[in-house]
């Protein structure tokens, strides 16, 4: 490989110009080198195992109105649902018996008391039903620190809350100005998650209208500076029922896909021990793109195990894949797909991000030395 590329990739920093070059340079030799290096770093630092998280889309009831999202509160054509307790437990037990090691409980954002209690109750019941062996990641939006603590004590160990973009101006353009969609509140929620003790995950949408490669480079720097444990990021996709006013200046689908894969690879080089998901949205552009993400540094797959009858009502974006593929078929599918890579599924493993252990170890050490 060209020495200059080798030098860039071996010693990658958050230098914005370099990251922009690596995100956009059409040189195929560079692209191949970047993806290969990212896979090697993943294999060396976290092993060649891929963690499976069973994704349970608990409810599409949402109090927020994010302009890009298909289940925003003001989209009238969505049939609103919430799974029954039994359906959630059944899905969790299925994941446990299928040896997935963990599930993600995801839902639209609500912060009323009934919802907070319900999630607490579900966390407790999942622990009981699976001998405390199944780990639960929550992805239920912005909450107060108190709520985060309640859910942590009830058994939630990881939390995913995407920053969506680390550019506050772009964030504002994607949300209504109503005091309920504030960039600083999102940041504060992320800080509360870390403080509470969660393995903390965030992420961004890639190829948003008005988003530049410079902004994406700064998103990478944001992940690094915020010291996150897990990242899920994928292409922005158009949505029925959305309210995106800026339709000019759009990245093509291929560009969004390419940028997304390069973001995964670059993040792997910048944060060697974090968990990185091969996000579902990738697959809406290209059926092979999630496996491509594994080939360039990702180490988490989230097979959807939501009961089939609810799937079409949880469409955050158009062309969402897997509406008719049930949990068992999905797990089998990804197990087979992984055979086309150098990775293997990590059965029965919770798959805590190594980064979380490393950052806690550092904090303990600092405490001991002070």
Residue closer to ligand 5AD (CB basis): 279 or 330: 279
329-340 burial string, b = 16+ CB within 10 Å, else e? ebbeebbebbee
CB of 141 vs ligand 5AD, minimal distance in Å: 8
CB of 259 vs ligand 5AD, minimal distance in Å: 13
Residue closer to ligand 5AD (CB basis): 226 or 349: 226
Residue closer to ligand 5AD (CB basis): 34 or 91: 91
CB of 69 vs ligand 5AD, minimal distance in Å: 4
CB of 215 vs ligand 5AD, minimal distance in Å: 15
Mutual orientation of helices 3-10 and 16-24 as an angle, nearest 10°? 120
Residue closer to ligand 5AD (CB basis): 168 or 341: 168
CB of 70 vs ligand 5AD, minimal distance in Å: 6
Which alpha helices (DSSP H) does 227-317 contain, by range?
253-270, 280-285, 289-295
Query: Which residues in this chain contact ligand 5AD in the complex, by CB under 6 A?
Result: 68-69, 162, 164, 205, 236-237, 239, 281, 316-317
What span, in angstroms and rounded, lies between the C-alpha atoms of 55 and 51? Answer: 12
Cβ atoms 49, 99 nearer than 8 A: no
**Spatial CA neighbour of 76 closest among 85, 65, 84:** 65
CB of 252 vs ligand 5AD, minimal distance in Å: 15
Residue closer to ligand 5AD (CB basis): 75 or 239: 239
CB of 316 vs ligand 5AD, minimal distance in Å: 4
Q: Phi and psi for 45 in degrees, rounded to 5?
A: -90, -40
Q: Phi and psi for 124 in degrees, rounded to 5?
A: -65, -40
Residue closer to ligand 5AD (CB basis): 45 or 243: 243
Cβ atoms 167, 218 nearer than 8 A: yes
Residue closer to ligand 5AD (CB basis): 31 or 320: 320
Based on its alpha-carbon atoms, the radius of gyration of the chain, rounded to whole angstroms, reads 20
**Spatial CA neighbour of 274 closest among 225, 220, 216, 231:** 231
For 136, the enclosing helix (H) or strand (E) is strand 135-139
């Amino acid at each position: 490989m060209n020495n200059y590329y080798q030098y860039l990739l071996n010693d990658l920093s958050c230098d914005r110009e370099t990251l922009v070059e690596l995100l956009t340079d059409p040189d195929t030799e560079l692209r191949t080198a970047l993806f290969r290096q990212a896979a090697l770093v993943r294999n060396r630092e976290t092993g060649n195992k891929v963690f499976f998280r069973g994704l349970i889309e608990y409810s599409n009831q949402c109090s927020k109105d994010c302009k890009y999202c298909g289940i925003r509160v003001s989209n009238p054509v969505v049939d609103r649902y919430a799974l029954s307790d039994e359906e959630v437990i059944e899905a969790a037990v299925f994941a446990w018996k299928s040896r997935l090691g963990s599930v993600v409980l995801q839902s639209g954002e609500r912060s009323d008391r009934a919802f907070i209690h319900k999630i607490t109750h579900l966390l407790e019941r999942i622990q009981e039903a699976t001998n405390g062996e199944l780990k639960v990641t929550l992805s239920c939006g912005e909450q107060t620190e108190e709520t985060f603590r309640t859910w942590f004590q009830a058994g939630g160990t990881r939390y995913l809350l995407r920053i969506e973009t680390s550019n506050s101006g772009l964030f504002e353009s994607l949300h209504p100005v109503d005091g309920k969609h504030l960039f600083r509140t999102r940041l504060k929620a992320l800080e509360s998650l870390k403080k509470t003790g969660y393995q903390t995950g965030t992420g961004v949408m890639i190829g948003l209208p008005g988003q530049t490669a410079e902004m994406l480079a700064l998103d990478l720097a944001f992940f690094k500076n915020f010291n996150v444990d897990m990242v899920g990021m994928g292409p922005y996709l158009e949505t029925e029922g959305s309210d995106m006013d800026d339709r000019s200046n759009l990245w093509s689908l291929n560009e969004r896909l390419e940028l997304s894969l390069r973001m995964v690879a670059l993040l792997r080089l910048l944060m060697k021990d974090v968990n990185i998901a091969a996000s579902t949205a990738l697959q809406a552009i290209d059926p092979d793109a999630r496996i491509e993400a594994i080939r360039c540094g990702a180490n988490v797959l989230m097979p959807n195990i939501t009961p089939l009858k609810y799937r079409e009502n949880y469409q955050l974006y158009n062309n969402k894949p897997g509406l008719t593929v049930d949990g068992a078929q999905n797990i089998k599918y990804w197990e087979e797909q992984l055979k086309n890579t150098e990775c293997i599924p990590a059965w029965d493993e919770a798959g805590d991000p190594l980064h979380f252990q490393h950052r806690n170890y550092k904090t303990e050490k600092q405490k001991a030395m002070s």
